[in-house]
Structure 1
Amino acid sequence: MSEKSPVTHDLTQLFEKIKDVRIAMLTTTDEHGSLHSRPMGTIKPGKDDALYFLTDSESAKVYEIKKDSQVNLSYGDPGSNVYASVSGRANAYRDEAQIAELWSEPMRAWFPKGKEDPHITVLKITIDKAEYWDSPSSFLSQAYGYVRAVVTGERSKDDDVNQHAQVQPQ
């Protein structure tokens, strides 16, 4: 029987965990009902506790989101042992002021015309729920978890070497 992970309504810790994970896998549902995933560069969380991306208005993801707005974002950083799964509703729209705010020069690789490119679309993910896992990557932390398990016969708990929580915004 698995233990229930703690639940929080505060997105701050989730955003702190994923802030350095530059790429998320965005999963949508395609026209055949199959899951379709692709990498996306997270720009930043908004003041409204949503996640923002810039994308091309002609991309498959925009068409898929118009048919079914439910999406999932998966974040993973094996180097720091941080993982997160974010479920929510996506909305694709054009807002020139927001595009200018979210724009950075490296995005020119996808949008050579710059932030004035008429195909740039804001992709906003409003979070319904999320979950994250964070295990210290240091050898000593992992060794502690191992020794504890051997000595006690119990696996590590979230409060000793791992952090795991569900996030359900209000």
Structure 2
Amino acid sequence: MEGQITHTDAAIKLKEEIEKVEIAMLTTQGDDGRFRARPMHTTRVDADGILWFFTSDQSDKVREIERNPKVGLGYSGPGKDTYVSVSGEAQLVKDKAKMHDLWNPTLKAWFADGLDTPDIALLKITVEKAEYWDSASGTLLTLYGMVKSTVTGKDARGDSEHEKLDVRS
């Protein structure tokens, strides 16, 4: 299902899809030009298509983003039949008030001193484009659709939702 939706609607749909998965593989470009990906926990998805992550300002990903702020994010939730691909621009944010707003006590596993951790920072990803695939029917019905497709010879792709989202014009 591909159609035209507004930028606001696209950002809201993106938020809904990402909140189903939470963990993304953040891809940056390394010094050698090769792509590097690492798992990141999405702290918040704003309704306007901004993604927030806590990070260390001393990490390789931050140096890579300073050289090339274009990033990719891949969300995969096979148990939820949800997949999201995002491209956008990243920037480092050291705003303590914003960190306080986004803080969650479970983050102490990575930042033992909480918001007083010396290298704590935020990554702000401004989403430009996104694409998602979401099975409308769930795993059992998807499997049923695959079996039905094999027997009837009809394509099973119509049983899932797929949309390209242009979050920024």
* TM-score normalised over the length of structure 2: 0.89
Q: Give 1:23 deviation, angstroms.
A: 1.0
Corresponding pairs, count: 164
Counterpart in 2 of 1:58? 58
- After TM superposition, the structure 1 stretch with the greater mean CA deviation from structure 2, 40-49 or 22-31, is 40-49
Counterpart in 2 of 1:13? 13
Residue identity opposite 2:164 in structure 1: Q
Q: Give 1:7 deviation, angstroms.
A: 4.7
More helix by proportion, 1 or 2?
2
Q: Give 1:47 deviation, angstroms.
A: 4.2
CA distance in 2, matches of 1:138, 1:32: 40
Counterpart in 2 of 1:168? 166
Say if 2:20 and 2:82, in contact at 8 Å, map to a contact too.
no
Counterpart in 1 of 2:138? 137
Identity %: 37
CA distance in 2, matches of 1:46, 1:17: 12
Counterpart in 2 of 1:100? 100
CA deviation string 1:131-165 (max 9, x = no partner): 000113332343135425632x331244xx20000
Counterpart in 2 of 1:88? 88
CA distance in 1, matches of 2:141, 2:76: 22
Counterpart in 2 of 1:156? 156
Would you say 1:41 and 2:38 are equivalent positions? no
Say if 2:11 and 2:47, in contact at 8 Å, map to a contact too.
no
Structure 2: gaps spanning 5 or more residues? none
Counterpart in 2 of 1:72? 72
CA deviation string 1:45-79 (max 9, x = no partner): 12442100010000000000000001001000111
Q: What is the RMSD computed on CA atoms of the aligned residues?
A: 1.8
Residue identity opposite 1:14 in structure 2: L
Say if 2:11 and 2:48, in contact at 8 Å, map to a contact too.
no
- After TM superposition, the structure 1 stretch with the greater mean CA deviation from structure 2, 44-53 or 93-102, is 44-53
Residue identity opposite 1:12 in structure 2: I
CA deviation string 1:15-44 (max 9, x = no partner): 111203121000000011000000000011
Structure 1: gaps spanning 5 or more residues? none
